[in-house]
Amino acid sequence: MDKMLYVAMTGASQNALAQQAHANNLANISTSGFQRDLEQARSMPVFGDSFPSRAYAMTERPATDFTPGALQETGRDLDVAVSGNGFIAVQAPDGSEAYVRTASLNVDALGVLRAGNGMPVMGNGGPIAVPPEQKIEIGEDGTISIRAMGEGPRVMAEVDRIKLINPDTQGLTKGLDGLLHTRTGQPADPDVNVKVVSGFLEASNVNAVEEMTSVLALSRQFELHVKMMNTAKEGDEAMARVLQIG
């Protein structure tokens, strides 16, 4: 009877973790550039002092769905999104390099170009610094050009170029900070073929209907696991009564 109880218990607990993954996807349905997390369940034999005669349930997040989201026009010059495959390099809080699909850029008081999440945007030699300017433009190859203070409308100077990469997505993983990182921890090489579009942001690739359907299905499974635990409890109580009669 304990086998049935513990199998049902692990199924219910891992089912709750799967629901958290889908709930997180739903919570980020309006987050620009968010790429949904995938989840799967599989059986896992229990290894220990005895033979692995029991298999419990285990939920895991095997990968991220890298399908591009729809481009949404904003009309803002500093809103950029990757056109096609590729990523924009930013500097993570720990100083390492991380990657995003889209960014609502702004220049802070120190002249550092930052993404909408506050992370500095990486250029050819590190975080991009922008001198005081009247106007800033971003080309499709990531080139940043400015019109300096006091210059004429036709005088544009190139400042830096946003680092754009296009590695094999199998080598990328999403960290707890929500940013993409290389599995090796080493910065990816820039790719001159990656293009960006200015005045657009990429929407989340989460499908609300699909996520809600998954949550409802998992909720039903959770109820079945709880029912099995109650059945195991009732069976154990019935056996105890039989032993008392004897």
178, pLDDT greater than 90: no
CA distance 238 to 243: 9
CA distance 138 to 80: 8
Domain ranges in the chain? Answer: 2-66+206-245, 71-202
CA distance 57 to 212: 22
Provide the 3-class DSSP secondary structure of residue 193.
coil
Predicted local confidence at residue 52, as pLDDT: 72
Q: If you average pLDDT over residues 202-224, what whole number do you get?
A: 91
Q: What would the DSSP string read from start to end of 73-106?
A: E---TTEEEEESS-EEEEE-TTS-EEEESEEE-E
Residue in the block written with tokens 């729809």: 70
Q: If you average pLDDT over residues 25-49, what whole number do you get?
A: 85
Predicted local confidence at residue 14, as pLDDT: 83
Q: What would the DSSP string read from start to end of 121-190?
A: BB-SSSB-B--SEEEEEE-TT-EEEEEETT--TT--EEEEE--EE---GGGEEE-TTS-EEETTSSPPPB
Provide the 3-class DSSP secondary structure of residue 110.
coil
Mean pLDDT check: name the lowest of 19-33, 216-230, 232-246: 232-246
Phi, psi of 122 (to 5 degrees): -85, 140
246, pLDDT greater than 60: no
CA distance 173 to 166: 14
**What pTM value is reported for the model?**
0.81
Give the tokens for residue 4.
């049935």
DSSP letter at 68? P
H or E element, residue 42? strand 40-45
194, pLDDT greater than 90: yes
Count the neighbouring beta carbons within 10 Å of the beta carbon of residue 208: 11
CA distance 10 to 14: 6
Predicted local confidence at residue 2, as pLDDT: 64
